[in-house]
């Protein structure tokens, strides 16, 4: 699934993101045993849990994708596009998901960039994330 695909890409780019001064965390809603499994498998950044959706609420991304968004061409395309990475063993399992999002905060927890998905697996690319951080870095 696209969320684990992005997680795998963040893992692959962890060092280059760190060189930009960026740390990474992932925040899932539940499934502590799955997060622990991924952590034990060497994911180098914290995999945290937000079972009550406090962070989702705070960010305002607690709404679920609508049926229209779920059935969109983009949702279908994103689902299919990750199959190749699954076959490479870079994505472990499939699952359904709520509205995806990625936010970038600065050291005062001020949001400097966000991407709120409007389709299944609608995450930004690693390039978009790195570009967003690079644009924020002061010379």
Partner 1 sequence: MGIISVGDQVPDLELARPDGSMTTIGADVDQYLIIQILRYYG
- Interface residues with partner 1 (CB under 8 A)? 3-4, 6-7, 10, 17-18, 20-39, 45-51, 54-62, 92-93, 95-98, 100-114, 116, 123, 129, 133, 136-137
Q: At what angle are helices 2-12 and 126-136 packed, to 10 degrees?
A: 50
Taking the C-alpha atoms of residue 37 and residue 102, their distance in angstroms, rounded to an integer, is 22
| Sole residue written with tokens 């890409």 | 9
Closest distance of CB 73 from partner 1, Å:
22
Taking the C-alpha atoms of residue 85 and residue 63, their distance in angstroms, rounded to an integer, is 28
Q: 3-state DSSP call for residue 93?
A: coil
Closest distance of CB 137 from partner 1, Å:
8
Of the pair 55, 76, the CB lying nearest partner 1 is at 55
Closest distance of CB 32 from partner 1, Å:
5
């Amino acid at each position: 699934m696209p969320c684990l695909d992005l997680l795998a890409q963040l893992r692959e780019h962890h060092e280059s993101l760190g060189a930009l001064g960026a740390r990474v965390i992932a925040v899932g809603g539940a499934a502590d045993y799955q997060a622990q499994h991924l952590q034990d498998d060497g994911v180098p950044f914290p995999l945290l849990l937000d079972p009550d959706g406090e962070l989702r609420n705070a960010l305002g991304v607690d709404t679920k994708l609508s049926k229209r968004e779920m059935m969109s061409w983009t949702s279908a395309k994103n689902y299919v596009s990750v199959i190749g990475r699954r076959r490479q063993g870079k994505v472990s399992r499939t699952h359904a998901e709520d509205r995806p999002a990625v936010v970038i905060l600065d050291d005062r927890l001020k949001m400097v960039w966000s991407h709120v998905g409007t389709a299944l697996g609608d995450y930004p690319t690693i390039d978009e994330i790195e570009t967003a951080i690079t644009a924020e870095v002061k010379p």
